[in-house]
Structures are given as C-alpha cells and as structure tokens.
Amino acid sequence: MKLVIIKYNAGNIQSVLYALERIGTTALVTDSPDEILGADKVIFPGVGEASTAMQYLQERKLDQLIIQLKQPVLGICLGMQLMCKHSEENDTKCLGIFNSSVKGFKNDAEHSIKIPQIGWNTIYHLQTPLFSQIKENSYCYFVHGYYASPGEHTIATTHYGKEYSSALQTNNFYGTQFHPEKSADIGEQILKNFINL
Amino acid sequence: MLTKRIIACLDIKDGRTVKGVNFEDIRDAGDPVELGALYAAQGADELVFLDITATNERRKTLSELVNKIAHHINIPFTVGGGIASVDDVSVLLQNGADKISVNTSAFKDPTLVKDLAKEFGSQCVVLAIDTKKEADGNWYVYLNGGRVKTDMRCFDWAKQAVDLGAGEILLTSMNNDGTKQGFALDITQELSANLPVPIIASGGAGKMEHFGDVFQLAGADAALAASIFHYKEIAIPELKQYLAEKGIAMRL
C-alpha cells in the first residue's frame, strides 16, 4: 500500500501524517507527479485560503494532475473545498470534481452563529464505506468559515446555522470538511476506512 | 449541533508540566505528552499548552515538545507563551500545533495579529488576554503574565484584535483566576455577545456548576481550566455528563 499526501502550501500536512502514523501506517509527502500518479491512495489536505492554494496548485500543474487521478483521493477541509466547482472565498474557480459550490457562513438575524465554526459538531445521513462503523451523529472536529452546499455528491451532512455537506464523494474522489486527523477515535476510524477502500 | 468545548490547560516549563501532581494512574505526570493524552482519552475537547520557560533554549525545547505532542494526541491543541513573530509561529505549526496564542507581543505590536492571520489564517490565531476589573468597574488589559497594567479596556483590545484577524479570544480574568469561585461572567458575556468569534473563558473554575453558568449565562463557547483537572477535583467525564444533563451541547 503506497499512500501519498500531496505537498503544497497547506497548513495541516504534518498533522495528517502523524495521524496516519498513529493508526499504524505512513505516507510519503510529495509534489512529484510520478509519485502521486503511482500511489494507491492520495490524501489532499488543506488549511488556508482558497485562491492562494489554487494559484499554488496551478503554478505546479497539480490542478491538472489531481483531476486525472483514478485511485481513491481524500480531500480534507480546504482540500475538499478546492475539489468543488467554485469558492466564494476570493471568488476562486476550483477543480470542479464535486458538484457543489463553496459559500461563506453568514452571521445574520436568521442564523446567529460565530464565524469561523470552531469545534466539535455532528455528522449525519452518512453514506459510503468511508463511514463504515461510524454511528450517525458522531462528533468530528471542524474549523472553517466556508462550507460546501448540499448536493448530489453529499455523503455526510452537518448543521451550523443551516445544513451543509460535511463530506462529499463522486467516483474515486472523497472529501471531508472536518479534520479526521484531529477528530479523536472517530477520525482515526474514518482514516482507516479510507485506507481500506 | 456545535458543542461547547471543555479545554484542559497545561503549564510547561523546560519541556515539563508545572502543576502535574497527584496522578497515580499515569507513569509521569510531569510529561506533557502523557498528561495531554490522558485528558484527550477522558474526553477533553482541546488542549492548551502554555510555555513559561524563560531560558534561551526555550524555542528549541518547545518545538521539540510540540512535535511529540502532535505525534501522540488525536485532538486539537493550542500552544502559547512568549510567541512574538511569524517565524515563531511557523516553526510551531510546522511541528504540528493546530493553533497558537499570542498575548503581550500582540498588544505591543498589533500588526502581529494581522500578519499571522494573513500568513496562516484566522482559524489558528488565538488572542489571549489577561484582564482585571479595577475599582472603577472597568476591565483592563494586563501584560507579561498579569504583572504590567495597561490603560486599554479589555473589550476595546479584543475588538481591535478581532478586526485584525484573531479567530478566537482566550479570556482570563485575573480577579477570578485561582479563586475557585466561578468564571467572570460579566466580561465573558460582554465579549461573547458583541464579538463575532468564539470566546474561551478562563480563570475561576471550582465547581461543575461554574462551567454551566459560563456557558448558559455568559454565552462562552469554551471553558478552560487547569488545576481543578490536575488535582482531580473535577473529572472531565463527569463534568461533561453533568453539563449535558443541564441541556448544554457536549461531545460525550
């Protein structure tokens, strides 16, 4: 099993790597196209800002590479958002893998919420083997100011002011808005499930 | 539903926990990694590691410790204490810290908050404020671990820091800290009701109902405590169960 974490200007790469080590596996952190194409599984992490991250990927042609991948790919947080069509964060065109748009949370009379959402929230309406052995309404750790709207690729839902997609999937591509690498035992099980896909 | 968070704080000096006593169930209570892992296993929602080392070696010792913590602990953690530059933060985040907290250095140079938010995102920038209510009835900002008074009102500084990009406020009331008489509800409520970011209340926890009060009466998003957890006066699982029974959203 060759597991690769795509190296780019994202903040949580080390955390993802350490979480994989805790569950008894390891991964290569690389931006080499050959290494990524040759991997059995690919993790696309992300903490940061959408337009800066997309620009970085484009400059290294990683954007073209990611959409071609045929093996299971897991985008995390900003990684998942970048796999959507478009992000409101600095009006950024994204990779267009998931048929969802990314919008900013709004604190208004209708939805009195703090932004960003920071903390533990529930995931429900769970689908696909990514959530094998995960109970409905399990808690995962979220840190984000933007969210993916619900759509045909939604495989987990969370409520914060409104319902949004806390995980997405189409074909070999998976994405989670929450951080499995920081979501205690639940997160570790989800990472194991991805590895076992 | 987003839960309220229970945060355990560990003071670190020279890579060791300062207050860790009375833990017969772990091998070495002075080991921040082991103590942090115990709290994580008990259901703490986050950990804060506050470094009070004053030696020249501190940066290296701290980054090595952060790296060990990040390897072993599967919940988010914040690192604070003496952080004064983008470079300081970069090293800590690269070693696996999820968030960092800044205090005195940010007050002396508020552009630090802006620079950190721009470089790393607001989500990892926690502004820590030590505040004290004076005889005039107003809460003022104190620096250098509470030793230096300023003329800045707590709310004004918190507001300014949020405008600059701070993603969370860690609010410690010096009047309440160590008293075990409860959190400072008034200033916590003022910040929570008027600022768009999460507020972590700190200082004064002595009983389980104090946590209930700071969530339900003051609107805190998280509550932090140190000694009551270290000395096992309150156990985290019982605390979270108690709060859940009071109708407060908790991760159980």
pLDDT digits (tens, 9 = 90+) for A111-170: 789 988 999 999 999 999 999 999 999 999 999 999 999 999 999 999 999 999 999 999
pLDDT at B27: 57
Report whether pLDDT(B23) > 60.
no
B200 part of contact set with chain A, CB < 8 Å: no
Question: Per-residue confidence at A54, pLDDT binned at 50, 70, 90?
Answer: very high
Q: What is the pLDDT of residues B168-186, one digit of tens each?
A: 999 999 999 989 999 999 9
Helix H, strand E, coil C: the string for chain B is CCCCEEEEEEEEECCEECCCCCCCCCCCCCCHHHHHHHHHHHCCCEEEEEECCCCCCHHHHHHHHHHHHHHHCCCCEEEECCCCCHHHHHHHHHCCCCEEEECHHHHHCCHHHHHHHHHHCHHHEEEEEEEEECCCCCEEEEECCCCEEEEEEHHHHHHHHHHHCCCEEEEEECCCCCCCCCCCHHHHHHHHHHCCCCEEEECCCCCHHHHHHHHHCCCCCEEEECHHHHCCCCCHHHHHHHHHHCCCCCCC
- Given pLDDT bands bounded at 50, 70 and 90, which one contains residue B29? low
CA B151 to mean position of chain CA atoms = 23
Q: Which residues of A touch B168 (CB under 8 A)?
A: 118
- What is residue A135's predicted lDDT score, i.e. its pLDDT? 98
B123 close to A (CB below 8 A): yes
d(CA B129, CA B145): 9
Q: Which of A11, A18, A184 has the CB atom closest to B75's CB atom?
A: A184
B193 touches chain A (CB under 8 A): no
Q: What are the residue boundaries of the structural domains of chain A, listed by start?
A: 3-195
Question: Which tens digit of pLDDT belongs to each residue from B73-105?
Answer: 999 999 999 899 999 999 999 899 999 999 999
| Partner-chain residue, chosen from A143, A181, A184, that has the shortest CB–CB distance to B123 | A143
Q: Specify the higher pLDDT residue, B38 or B59.
A: B38
Tell me the pLDDT of chain B averaged across its residues. Answer: 92
What is the average per-residue pLDDT within A78-83? 96
The yes-or-no verdict on residue B58 having pLDDT over 90 is: no
Sequence-distant (≥ 6) Cβ neighbours of residue B123 within 8 angstroms: A47, A116, A118, A143, A144, A145, B99, B167
What is the percentage of chain A residues whose pLDDT exceeds 70?
A: 99
pLDDT attached to residue A13: 86
Tell me the average pLDDT across A37-61: 91
Q: Where are the domains of chain B?
A: 5-245
* pLDDT confidence band for B28 (50 / 70 / 90): low
Share of residues in chain B with pLDDT > 90 (%): 79
* Closest by Cα among B94, B86, B143, B139 to B114: B86
CA distance B124 to chain A (A): 9
Per-residue pLDDT reduced to its tens digit, A65-76: 999 999 999 999
Choose among B72, B74, B95: nearest Cβ to A14: B95
A139 interfaces chain B, CB cutoff of 8 Å: yes
Does 3.40.640.10 match the CATH number of domain A3-195? no
How do residues A89-98 score in pLDDT, each as one tens digit?
999 999 999 9
Q: Give the pLDDT confidence score for residue B20 in this predicted structure.
A: 46
With contact defined as beta carbons under 8 Å apart, do A86 and A54 qualify?
no
The mean of the pLDDT values for chain A is 94
pLDDT value at A176 more than 90: yes
The pTM (predicted TM-score) of the whole model is 0.93
**pLDDT value at position A64?**
96
The fold adopted by the segment(s) B5-245 is TIM Barrel (3.20.20)
* Predicted confidence (pLDDT) per residue in B209-247, tens digit: 999 999 999 999 999 999 899 888 999 999 999 999 999
Cβ within 8 Å of B, A 35-54 = 47-49
| SS3 readout for chain A | CCEEEECCCCCCHHHHHHHHHHCCCCCEEECCHHHHHCCCEEEECCCCCHHHHHHHHHHCCHHHHHHHCCCCEEEECHHHHHCCCEECCCCEECCCCCCCEEEECCCCCCCCCCCCEEEEEEEECCCCHHHCCCCCCEEEEEEECEEECCCCCEEEEEEECEEEEEEEEECCEEEECCCHHHCHHHHHHHHHHHHCC
